[in-house]
Amino acid sequence: MIDERQIRQRLRDVMHPELERDLVDLGMVRDITIDDASVVITLALPFKEVSIKDDLVRATEKAITDYAPHAGVSVRVIEMGQKERAAFMAQVEGRVPQAKAVNKIARVVAVLSGKGGVGKSSVAALLAVALQRQGMRVGVLDADITGPSQPRVFGLDQRPLMSPLGIRPVEASTGIKVMSINLLLENTDQAVIWRGPLISNAIKQFWNDVVWCDLDYLIVDLPPGTSDASLTVMQSIPLSGVVLVTSPQDLAGMIVRKAAGMVTQLGAPILGLVENMSYITCPDCGRRIEVFGPSQALETAQKLDVPFLGKLPLDPELAEKCDHGQIEAYDAGDFAAIAERIAGMMPQLQNTVVARP
C-alpha cells in the first residue's frame, strides 16, 4: 500500500540544489495523487522553464521510486502565479522584517510604461490622489530608483523617520504615504549611480522594511521599460494589477507592448491602458488639438486584449502643480473616471496581510 504521508516524507529528502532546502519546506509540492500503483506529483516552480527543472523532476522521481520501486511515477510541473512567486521569493530570502508583521496592504497596483517621457509618474500620482479622494488609505512606493520624482510631485523634502519596526514613510498633506530614494539623499540633485543588484535591493527594502501599516492601496511607480527594477517588483511584490501608460505616438505604443509582454510572462494581471498627453485643449476656442498625432491607444489596447481605461490631456496646469509639489490640489476631473474603473476591476477590499509569505 502506497502511503501519501510516506511519499511526502520521502520528498523532504529532495533538496533544492541552489537553495539547500527541501521541496516540501519550500512549498513546491502542490499535490500528490495516488491511483492504484501509480503516483503523480505536482511540483510548482517559480518559473516553468528554470535551468534546474529536469534535475528536480529526476530527483523527485527517484525519491518515490526508491520508496515504491514497482509504482508508476510521473511528475507534473506547473508555474507559480505572480503572488505565489512573490511569497516564494520572500520565503527563500529567509528574513521576515518587523515591518512586515504590522503591514496590512489590501491592494498593490504598479504603474508601468514602455518608454520614458509619457507621464507615467504623474499618472501614478494622480491615481494615488484619486483613490485617496474616494476615502481610501493610500501609499506610493517610488521604485524608479535612478529617476525618482514622487517626492517633488507631492512637495516632500523631509527625511523619513526611523522606528524600532523600520523606516516610516513621509506623509503628504492629504495623508498619502510616500517612500522614495530621493527622501534619503543629502542632496535631491544627487545622482544614484547603482548597478542592478543595488537597485533591486533598494526596492525590496521599500517593500519589506517600510512601516506602511494599514493601506487600501499601495501604488508602485515603476521605471520605464523592462529593467531589473521592474523584474524585481514583479517577482518580489504580490501585485493586484498593473496599469500601462502610453502616449499617442505609434513608437510609444510599440514599446508599451513590449512592457505588456513582460507583465504577461511574469503572471501579473494587466488592469488596462491609459493614454497620456492625448490632446491639448485650445484656451481660446476649446478645440482639442492632437499635438502628438492621432490616438493609437484603442488599437494598442485591442492588440494587447486589455481594457482601454481612457485618455488624459496634455495639461499645463498639471505640469505646474507637479513642479510646485501641489499634485493633491490638482482637480484631476479627467482622471476620476479612470480611477473608478481601476478600483472597480478588483474584488472588494479586504485587509489581508499579504506581506507575509
Concatenated DSSP letters for 39-86? EEEEEEESSTT-TTHHHHHHHHHHHHHHH-TTSEEEEEEEE--HHHHH
Same domain assignment for residues 22 and 169: no
Same domain assignment for residues 63 and 121: no
Q: What CATH number is attached to the domain comprising 193?
A: 3.40.50.300
The gap between the terminal CA atoms of the chain, to the nearest Å, is: 35
DSSP 3-state of 294:
coil
Q: How far apart are CA 34 and CA 108, in angstroms?
A: 39
What local confidence, expressed as pLDDT, does residue 236 receive? 85
Q: Which domain-ending residue is among 20, 44, 79?
A: 79
Q: Going residue by residue through the chain (357 aa), what tens digit of pLDDT does each one get?
A: 778 888 999 999 999 887 778 999 888 999 999 887 889 999 999 877 777 888 899 999 999 999 888 888 999 999 888 888 887 877 776 655 566 668 899 999 999 987 888 889 999 999 999 999 999 999 999 999 988 999 999 999 998 988 777 889 999 999 999 999 999 888 888 888 888 888 888 998 899 889 999 999 999 999 887 778 888 888 888 999 999 999 888 777 788 888 899 898 888 899 999 999 998 988 888 888 988 888 888 888 998 999 999 999 999 999 999 999 999 999 988 899 999 999 988 764 443 333 333
Same domain assignment for residues 50 and 114: no
- Residue 59's CB is within 10 A of a number of other CB atoms, namely 18
Q: What CATH number is attached to the domain comprising 42?
A: 3.30.300.130
Q: Has residue 121 been placed in a domain?
A: yes
Same domain assignment for residues 106 and 183: yes
Q: Which domain-ending residue is among 79, 105, 135?
A: 79
Same domain assignment for residues 105 and 68: no
Q: How far is CA 157 from the centre of its chain?
A: 25
What local confidence, expressed as pLDDT, does residue 93 receive? 67
Same domain assignment for residues 64 and 113: no
Same domain assignment for residues 44 and 121: no
Same domain assignment for residues 39 and 162: no
Q: What is the pLDDT of residues 334-356, one digit of tens each?
A: 899 999 999 988 764 443 333 33
Q: Are 73 and 39 in contact (CB under 8 A)?
A: yes
Q: Has residue 109 been placed in a domain?
A: yes
- pTM score, two decimals? 0.77
Q: How far apart are CA 289 and CA 285, in angstroms?
A: 11
Q: Has residue 39 been placed in a domain?
A: yes
Q: How far is CA 48 from the centre of its chain?
A: 20
Same domain assignment for residues 160 and 52: no
> What is the domain extent for residue 31?
4-79
Same domain assignment for residues 241 and 318: yes
Q: How far apart are CA 315 and CA 355, in angstroms?
A: 37
Number of compact structural domains in the chain: 2
Grid coordinates given for 35: 491511483
Q: Which domain-ending residue is among 79, 108, 128?
A: 79
Q: Has residue 352 been placed in a domain?
A: no
Same domain assignment for residues 49 and 162: no
Q: Has residue 135 been placed in a domain?
A: yes
Same domain assignment for residues 197 and 101: yes
